[in-house]
Amino acid sequence: MEKFVVLPEIAKLGHVALVSENLEKSLWFFRDVLGLEETEEVDGVHYLRAWGDFEHHTLSVRAGETSYIDHIGWRTKRREDVATFAKILEDAGTEVRWIKAGEERGQGEAIRFELPSGHRFELYYDMEKTPADPERKSVLKNQTYKAWRKGVSPRRIDHINLQTSVNNLEVVNFLREKLGFKLREYFVNKNNEQVASWLSVTPLVHDVAIMTTDRSKKPNEMHHLAYWLDNAQDLLRAADILNEAEIEFVGPGKHGISQAMYVYVKDPGSGLRIEIFTNGYLIFEPDWEPIKWTYEEYLKYGSTYWGDRRRDDVDREAQIRELIQSR
């Protein structure tokens, strides 16, 4: 009888581990302005999550001399997938480091490795689903915390956008061939070279985006981390809250790629850009063909479908460059 091989799979984006050069400002922003809930603080690491996140944390923040992303965590679909991914990666020549259970609070055994761009990924399966304390607990059994308790109050983590100076296809092919990501949409430059890609392991348009640009000072930068709001009205409310906190932001607007509405804002402590994100579309087709955006199409509709428009006499190409850089 023919033996079937079960390929390992990534289930979803889990968390981002942030190091901040100004921890006090970062905690003020994430806890009070953005409205994330703090699960706990252990050995100087603050673990946070949105009111609809179930795992122990979707963001961790600790102090450092400079600000950077330590790693990005992804949960696998099965416990055994962690070891299977480790073998696939090692066979391909990628260095893999095993993380003992408990080394990261709430998390079981995991592996860490780097993409060709140098971004550090972590794969795990076991993670505590820590209940909220009684004062913050929702009356809904299918929800962790009370909604709208403070700040912008996003429901859940949504996606990451990684910025790099490395060839876009090199990173994209690694994600597809070694980790099972599916390419959903992509953008080419004037020379028809792929320079931005949106990929996912879920029905979302993207769990991760890869943007190649000569503006990258390092090959492993993060362009933004996104948290999800339920609807457009929540996004407008978020803009009011940010303005009341006297924090500058970009938006509201709507992307052509992903069709989602957005506001971009930077954590004043670390400089990490956060996208407050809603709407968009889901992909359920098993035979989905990646959508190509040409340079001209991207300038006209891809990045900004509407919102953030400048005067008609401003050169559109220069405007897009300005907007992307500000984001």
In CATH terms, 10-137+153-326 corresponds, of 3.90.1150.10, 3.20.20.70, 3.10.180.10, 3.40.50.2000, to: 3.10.180.10
Q: What phi, psi does 81 have (nearest 5°)?
A: -65, -30
pLDDT-derived band at 84, boundaries 50, 70, 90: very high
Contact 64, 271 (CB under 8 A): no
Average pLDDT over residues 214-242: 94
Across the chain, mean pLDDT equals 92
In this predicted structure, the answer to whether residue 63 has a pLDDT above a threshold of 70 is yes
pTM, two decimal places: 0.91
pLDDT in tens, 242-301: 999 999 999 999 999 999 999 999 999 999 999 999 999 999 999 999 999 999 888 888
All residues at 6 or more sequence positions from 253 whose CB lies less than 8 Å from its CB, including other chains = 261, 262, 304, 305, 306, 307, 308
